[in-house]
Chains A and B, each alone.
Chain A
Amino acid sequence: MTVTVKLVPVQAAYDDLLQRSLSKISCDLARLIYLASTRDYNTGTYHHDGLAARFSPDVAGKALEIAHRQIFYQLSAYSLEQLVEQLQIYLDCSHESPADVLRIWQKLEPYRVAIPVEVSPAVARLFLSNIRLALAIWRFRQEQAPKHP
Chain B
Amino acid sequence: MIGVPTAILLGIVLLLLLLLLAARGSTVARELGSAPDLPMLDDEAGLDACPPEFVARIFSSDDWEFVSGTRSRQLQGLFRRERKLVALVWVDQTSKAIRRIMREHTEATRQSHDLQFATETKLALQYAELMLICGVLFLAIQAAGPQRVRGLALYAGTLSQRLTQAQQNFKTVTTGREFHGAGSS
Give the interface of A toward B (CB within 8 A).
Answer: 73, 76-77, 79-81, 112, 115, 117-126, 128-129, 132-133, 136-137, 140
Q: Beyond A119-B47, A121-B38, is A81–B85 a contact (Cβ under 8 Å)?
A: no
| Residues from chain A with Cβ under 8 Å of B46 in the complex | 118
Residues in A neighbouring B33, C-beta threshold 8 A: 121, 125
- Give the CA-CA distance A120 to B96 in the complex, in Å: 12
Q: Which of the listed residues A118, A121, A136 has the most CB atoms from chain B within 10 Å of its own CB?
A: A121
Which among B44, B63, B79 is the interface contact of A121 at CB below 8 angstroms? B44
Decide: A77 near B86, CB < 8 A? Known: A120-B48, A122-B58, A133-B67.
Answer: no
CB contact list, B6-61 vs A, under 8 A: 33-34, 37-38, 40-41, 44, 46-51, 53-54, 57-58
B75 near A137: Cβ-Cβ < 8 Å: yes
- Whole-angstrom distance between the alpha carbons of A123 and B34 in the complex? 12
Q: Which residues of B contact A117 (CB under 8 A)?
A: 40
Contact call A79/B62, Cβ cutoff below 8 A: yes
Given contacts A120-B54, A121-B47, 12 further A-B contacts (CB under 8 A): A73-B51, A77-B53, A122-B54, A122-B93, A123-B51, A123-B54, A125-B37, A129-B86, A133-B79, A136-B78, A140-B70, A140-B72
Residues of A within 8 A of B79 (CB): 133
Report yes or no: A121 in contact with B93, Cβ–Cβ below 8 A: yes
The chain B residue sitting closest to A76, CB to CB, is B54
Main SS class of interface, A = helix
Known contacts A122-B58, A126-B54, A126-B57, A133 near B72 by CB under 8 Å: no
B127 at the interface (CB under 8 A from A): no
A122 touches B90 (CB 8 A): yes
Chain A residue nearest in CB terms to B90: A122
Q: Report the separation of the CA atoms of residues A1 and B93 in the bound assembly, to the nearest whole angstrom.
A: 37
Task: Find out whether the CB atom of A137 lies under 8 angstroms from the CB atom of B47.
Answer: no
CA distance A115 to B47 in the complex (A): 13
* Alpha-carbon gap, A123 to B55, bound state (A): 9
Residue B83 is within 8 A (CB to CB) of chain A in the complex: yes
B179 at the interface (CB under 8 A from A): no
User: What is the bound-complex CA distance between A117 and B41, given in angstroms?
Assistant: 8
A124 near B41 with CB under 8 A, answer: yes
- Tell me whether B86 and A79 are in contact (CB under 8 A): no
Tell me whether B50 and A122 are in contact (CB under 8 A).
yes
A124 touches B83 (CB 8 A): no
Interface residue? B89 (CB, 8 A)? yes
Q: List residues of chain A with CB within 8 A of the CB of B74.
A: 136, 140
Find out whether the CB atom of B66 lies under 8 angstroms from the CB atom of A128: no
In the complex, what distance in Å separates the CA atom of A79 from the CA atom of B69? 14
**Per a CB cutoff under 8 Å, which of A112, A129, A137 touches B85?**
A129
Given known pairs A77-B53, A77-B57, A120-B47, the reply for A126 and B78 (CB within 8 Å) is no
Indicate if B178 sits at the interface (CB-CB under 8 A).
no
B82 sits at the interface (CB 8 A) = yes
